[in-house]
Structure 1
């Protein structure tokens, strides 16, 4: 996958999916014995790590079995480790992390972040078996930039284009990040300087997100500075 991207610019790529639910609905939460957290901190997240065990173990085991059977991996090709609120599946061609954490703005809820990283073979992502394992799991692609990019410079370039290529940009007053939209592309790009994150409205498998990325990349080609980002 990363072989299709300029290695001089991109340090790494990850696919991210998000989910969650009510803390009190977790299998390990005992009504009348446990209390729903009213803050997200180290102590309450440690509590979450204890009570999310049944759900996390089930999710991780299902992923392990899907990866092993659909991709034909043998025992030495894939391993699973579950500790507290984190499960890490390490396969010969990629790594997947599933992480539970309380939502800071609503600590009575938890979020689940699934991250696919270190994908070694771009062709693997195009296989039907791989797509079946990760169907509907991801809504974001995150690109780590080797040199970073000045958010202000990106904003200035897009504003100077005055809508050329269907590009539009929004940003807060301190320009700590900007959000780029392209007409006809069902996703936005969030740039914080060190990373570019492409966020889609619908979840999909990695190859589906990469198709959307290709459309966004084509729009960036209208300007040398933007093209240099990806």
Structure 2
């Protein structure tokens, strides 16, 4: 097991440089406490806070760092403070940074990385949460320089950088969470509250951590700071495979077939046919569509506005009752283009209505629940109460197309017990039959579709689990990396 060390610096208050960084000291102390369970050597985890966060205090710790961590294999560094750019160079403010001489009394980013390189650790992950500092005479806060960060980390042989926001953006905090939002989700990962991106062996890489933060931070921000934006950044992508935590003891090694990486690509869906004349917005004087074109789509969308809203209102009420979400936990939108959605911390529900191209007097209602937090949530009584009777299919979408012909050949060359497979003549889809399995399983280059009877989401999920048990490799993250990977 790797010998992991950490240096955590929390500059919460300043003598004069700027306002405090809310929750900085508490967040850093909480992460510091969590590190031993995440695979870190407690004797090599250093927390610098309070009166030690002067420039001299921070520089002293950086200078002594090689001795403090004594030939550790990997190093995690977190700095929480305020940051600014002066003449193209980024700086991190210290407790005693003074306004008349900001650069000379702050820590330059190149100096920070130079000190970390002296530790000679094989892997160094540098996490920076530096809200902007307003320079004298300026009206807007300055932040770190993205071009400089990109250049420094790309040139580094062993450092990867994760930064809480883009230049020009704020790094927000939440009074309700009593955390900085980016730091809240960072602690979530290091305490095992999320499995997103964690390998089967419990390893969490910098790339997977950033992917989680880039998804989670904006979602939380929508609930707490309406209309604001905060996009976490990754620098030094060539070193992003560095492992930043070993969560095997917290989560249990061996992984889960239905881990969050797969659950994010799972969607429950249903289709239901209805009459255009039954839509609330339909009028007898209206001309009915005579073809499935753009006019027909807009006609149906206008007629269905009230029905989509009613569907969302009903689902909203049930979701609030069953899961106890607060109003601010839910993001609801009824669009005029025949679509509406409800976003929650655990899932996203969408409903759409479109003209039925096979019968122009009908519409097709499509409902979906996706972006699921985990299998336990799907199996919960609340999920069954709200959605148990809605869906008749589960869709697992591949991040990259699968070669169906190769999949079929592998089965036929070494048939698993109780498995039969049929294939289309063009080898573009295959139907898999499992012994004792009532559902229909179809594999296409884009997805696995489990089709069953409407009424039990848990049954569909269990059938998907049975499928994965037989064909685990079809859902492996290394075989199916995130889109764009």
Match of 1:210 in 2: 461
After superposition, residues 106-145 of structure 1 pair within 5 angstroms as 106-145=359-398
After superposition, residues 1-230 of structure 1 pair within 5 angstroms as 4-5=257-258, 12-31=265-284, 33-84=285-336, 85-161=338-414, 165-200=417-452, 202-218=453-469, 220=470, 226-230=471-475
Does the 8 A contact of 1:11 with 1:143 survive in 2?
no
Q: In structure 2, how many angstroms separate the alpha carbons of the residues matched to 1:62 and 1:40?
A: 29
Does the 8 A contact of 1:9 with 1:145 survive in 2?
no
RMSD: 2.3
Q: In structure 1, how many angstroms separate the alpha carbons of the residues matched to 2:333 and 2:270?
A: 19
Count of residues in Structure 1 that have an aligned counterpart in Structure 2? 221
Larger displacement relative to structure 2 (95-104 or 206-215): 206-215
Distance apart, 1:138 and its partner CA: 1.0
* Aligned CA distance change for structure 1 residues 205 and 71 (closer, same or farther; 3 Å): farther
Q: In structure 1, how many angstroms separate the alpha carbons of the residues matched to 2:472 and 2:388?
A: 30
Q: In structure 2, how many angstroms separate the alpha carbons of the residues matched to 1:43 and 1:81?
A: 23
| Structure 2 gaps, min length 5 | 1-194, 197-255, 476-485
Distance apart, 1:81 and its partner CA: 0.5
Greater share of strand: 1
| Structure 1 gaps, min length 5 | 221-225
Q: In structure 2, how many angstroms separate the alpha carbons of the residues matched to 1:119 and 1:74?
A: 18
Larger displacement relative to structure 2 (59-68 or 174-183): 174-183
Q: Secondary structure at the match of 1:133?
A: helix
Whose RCO is larger (CA < 8 A, sep 6+)? 1
Query: What's the CA shift string for 1:97-134, capped at 9, x where partnerless?
Result: 00111122222211111111111243222221221011
Q: In structure 2, how many angstroms separate the alpha carbons of the residues matched to 1:28 and 1:147?
A: 41
Query: What's the CA shift string for 1:168-224, capped at 9, x where partnerless?
Result: 223332222222222321112222112111111x11343232122223334x2xxxx
Larger displacement relative to structure 2 (105-114 or 140-149): 140-149
Does the 8 A contact of 1:67 with 1:73 survive in 2?
yes
Q: TM-score, with normalisation over the residues of structure 2?
A: 0.42
* Aligned CA distance change for structure 1 residues 127 and 10 (closer, same or farther; 3 Å): closer
Does the 8 A contact of 1:10 with 1:146 survive in 2?
no
Q: TM-score, with normalisation over the residues of structure 1?
A: 0.85
Q: Secondary structure at the match of 2:409?
A: helix
Q: Answer with 1 or 2: which has the greater Rg.
A: 2
Match of 2:135 in 1: none
Q: Secondary structure at the match of 1:204?
A: coil
